[in-house]
Amino acid sequence: MTRIWNFSAGPAALPESVLQTTQAELLDWHGVGASIMEVSHRGKYFQEVIAAAEADLRELLAIPANYKVLFLQGGATLQFSAIPLNLLCGRSADYVVTGAWSKKAFQEAGRIAPVRLAVSTESADQPADGFIRLPRFDALSLDPAAAYLHLCTNETIHGVEIHDDASLPQNVPIVADMSSHLLSRPVDIRRYGLIYAGAQKNVGPSGLTLVIVRQDLLGKTAVVPRLLDYQAQVDNDSMLNTPTTFSIYVAGLVFQWLKKTGGLARMAEINREKAALLYAAIDDSNGFYKNPVEANCRSRMNTPFNLPTPTLEAEFVRASETAGFMGLKGHKSVGGIRASLYNAMPVEGVEALVGFMRAFATGRG
Amino acid sequence: MTRIWNFSAGPAALPESVLQTTQAELLDWHGVGASIMEVSHRGKYFQEVIAAAEADLRELLAIPANYKVLFLQGGATLQFSAIPLNLLCGRSADYVVTGAWSKKAFQEAGRIAPVRLAVSTESADQPADGFIRLPRFDALSLDPAAAYLHLCTNETIHGVEIHDDASLPQNVPIVADMSSHLLSRPVDIRRYGLIYAGAQKNVGPSGLTLVIVRQDLLGKTAVVPRLLDYQAQVDNDSMLNTPTTFSIYVAGLVFQWLKKTGGLARMAEINREKAALLYAAIDDSNGFYKNPVEANCRSRMNTPFNLPTPTLEAEFVRASETAGFMGLKGHKSVGGIRASLYNAMPVEGVEALVGFMRAFATGRG
């Protein structure tokens, strides 16, 4: 068996040791004679799994006691609806649009109530630019009566990331879609009212969605559909119905792996090193590779880049697959190339990619 | 490794050969160098998996071409909301309540619109009876203008099952929660407008929900949240966002296993044999074991039963665990014992259980 260097944007590579444990335990979890997939979500075995997963996640992110952790389903997309349904309570909310995902969140919320676009960084008059920058948060005109301010702190498609929690406004609760960089670095949870993330990047298999929410924001309204009611899920410890047990189990193994690796501060160092390697390879290519995002908000998780022509980009994807890489084709909406450098991608994988990129450019530049 | 006899109601036992294949392929699916959990849902590898899963499911259930198959998230509970949101279009619907799950479906729909309780078989004046029978469908007074008639065709908690599709009314589309018996026998799909099922009984791991829906019922309304919009999911081949890829993969292996076993007609024979063994052990116990459900609707999937006292029931559960059985404790809402005999439980497992029951009753009766 040869494992490939997998740069997929999500579902994405998982730590190999996590997969090995999953494999070893697959038919017989901890000697109980059944797979963890096969046991009751309310029984003692799975209760042990989900309790450990929550405790480890709380430790990794230093989640304060007044925040609840929910293990839900439906991806970030279902949260685009659940958030306004739970938090608006007749008010408006401000949305910052910095890429495709925050735009979708804004549009979906608008189907529920007339929320407000605080700012969009899309270069509508220069569509080739697309989303390449952050707004100046200190210059934003925000509604002080808004129920919340919504952000996507890492735009998976456009590769735009907010690196500094401290730069964000603090006058209303911040709701953040952290799907593609949660657990890639420490986060000051207290700066946020609600954090949500689809699991399939740094957390675990797809199908699981994490929600971390400040308790005082909940319980002010009865939500329909009831499965989307955060307070009802809190009251039922994420078990209003059967949760996605296997994904929670694998996520729990990922959390253990992160603790063994040295926690999120160590992970952030590794991720900075990986991103520095890749952006250097792009910036030092004499214009053969180009990433348009402004330097202060280049994502350490998702790096989209272009080659001189679409033909060369297609050739790059083909050659990379032959050379043992996976998942480098850019998102269909923007084209080009994208390399996602989630936690499970080791430095060696990025070194291999950078070596491949330099070899590919040689003679073609 | 010793595998236990697992009678859990769900998440439930999976076929051992399915788990073995999953285990063998866990780090390297079909030699591609990655787990199927780690690859893009839109890439060729997972597209192959989901296309094969749908084709095999269509073959097993003989699903006509004018029905769509959706692979969704959120369990049957989220469908309790999605169904009225998609199908009511300003009309009412009739709900038949035959147990805890159809009652929940009725209550949840009532939060969206004033749907109508066509009949409940709950013995309100004799609460000890609980749900033990089906209504006479030919004597039901139904609303001819209803958008649909909702049924739960197998009540997992109360062990009440509709065995005969042909006995159902045909004047409005029937919407059926088949969570706990889908794939246990052939179904005449054309008698239903919409069938839905949480996967964690006969289909695969929890987190996946199947919806099989007649196409002409859709597209009449725009649904919020959009993730619950069946037409939008149809238009996107169940990929409005990232689906629960691993659960779909395992479900696909279960479908292949069912085909190898001889399809649903053969599965129904085996399930009849298993249920006959268990009900005989109950009925031949001189009243030591009691199942109250009327003979024509005793579930072949879930058999709740009682012993003379709660003390004996607790002793039975403890002794069964020592003897190598799992999951026999009854649902918390009704107590007692419950044995679930899903497809993955072989006849030998039921024979072992029946032997244990006879030995346990001896001297205690």
3-state DSSP of A326-344:
ECCECCCCCCCEEEECCCC
Give A3's contacts (C-beta < 8 A, 6+ positions apart).
A16, B27, B28, B33, B34
**In the structure encoding, which two tokens stand for residue A162, read together?**
């907010």
Model confidence over A303-354: pLDDT tens digits?
999 999 999 999 999 999 999 999 999 999 899 999 999 999 999 999 999 9
User: Which of A271 and A124 is assigned the larger pLDDT?
Assistant: A271
Give contacts of B240 with chain A, Cβ < 8 Å: 77
Give contacts of A85 with chain B, Cβ < 8 Å: 225
pLDDT at A246: 98
- pLDDT class of A126 with cuts at 50, 70, 90: low
pLDDT at A94: 98
| Cα atoms in the Cβ-side hemisphere of radius 13 Å centred on B85 | 20
- Residue B48 reports pLDDT greater than 60: yes
CA distance A337 to chain B (A): 15
pLDDT at A124: 65
pLDDT at A127: 56
Model confidence over B316-328: pLDDT tens digits?
999 999 999 999 9
- pLDDT class of A359 with cuts at 50, 70, 90: very high
What mean pLDDT is predicted for residues B242-254?
98
pLDDT at B226: 96
- Residue B177 reports pLDDT greater than 90: yes
pLDDT at B127: 56
What mean pLDDT is predicted for residues B339-355?
98
Q: Cβ of B244 and A206 within 8 Å? A: yes
Please report, as a single letter, which amino acid is at residue B99: G
| R_g of chain A computed on alpha carbons | 21
Give the active site residues of B.
101, 177, 201
Mean residue pLDDT across chain A: 96
pLDDT at A203: 98
pLDDT at B365: 72
- Residue B126 reports pLDDT greater than 80: no
**In the structure encoding, which two tokens stand for residue B96, read together?**
């038949």
Model confidence over A147-203: pLDDT tens digits?
999 999 999 999 999 999 999 998 899 999 999 999 999 999 999 999 999 999 999
The gap from C-alpha B12 to its chain's centroid, in whole angstroms, comes to 11
DSSP state of A315: H
Model confidence over B134-171: pLDDT tens digits?
999 988 989 999 999 999 999 999 999 999 999 999 88
- pLDDT class of B215 with cuts at 50, 70, 90: very high
Query: What is the rounded distance in angstroms from the CA atom of residue A332 to the CA atom of residue B40?
Result: 12
CA distance A323 to chain B (A): 12
Give contacts of B244 with chain A, Cβ < 8 Å: 73, 205-207, 244, 247
For an interface test with B, give the residue of A106, A242, A325 to mutate (most B CBs within 10 A): A242
Q: The whole model's pTM is what?
A: 0.98
- Residue A60 reports pLDDT greater than 70: yes
Q: Is the ipTM of this complex over 0.95?
A: yes
DSSP H or E stretch at residue B45: helix B44-61
pLDDT at B2: 82
pLDDT above 70 covers a percentage of chain A that reads 98
- pLDDT class of A129 with cuts at 50, 70, 90: confident
Q: Cβ of B207 and A4 within 8 Å? A: no
Q: Cβ of A225 and B8 within 8 Å? A: no
Q: Which domains does chain A show, CATH number per domain?
A: 17-260 (3.40.640.10), 262-361 (3.90.1150.10)
**In the structure encoding, which two tokens stand for residue A6, read together?**
């997998």
> Bridge partners of A325?
A5
Give contacts of A111 with chain B, Cβ < 8 Å: 224, 226
pLDDT at B124: 64
Query: What is the rounded distance in angstroms from the CA atom of residue B197 to the CA atom of residue B195?
Result: 7
pLDDT at B123: 75
Is A101 among the residues known to form the active site? yes
Model confidence over A97-124: pLDDT tens digits?
999 999 999 999 999 999 999 999 987 6
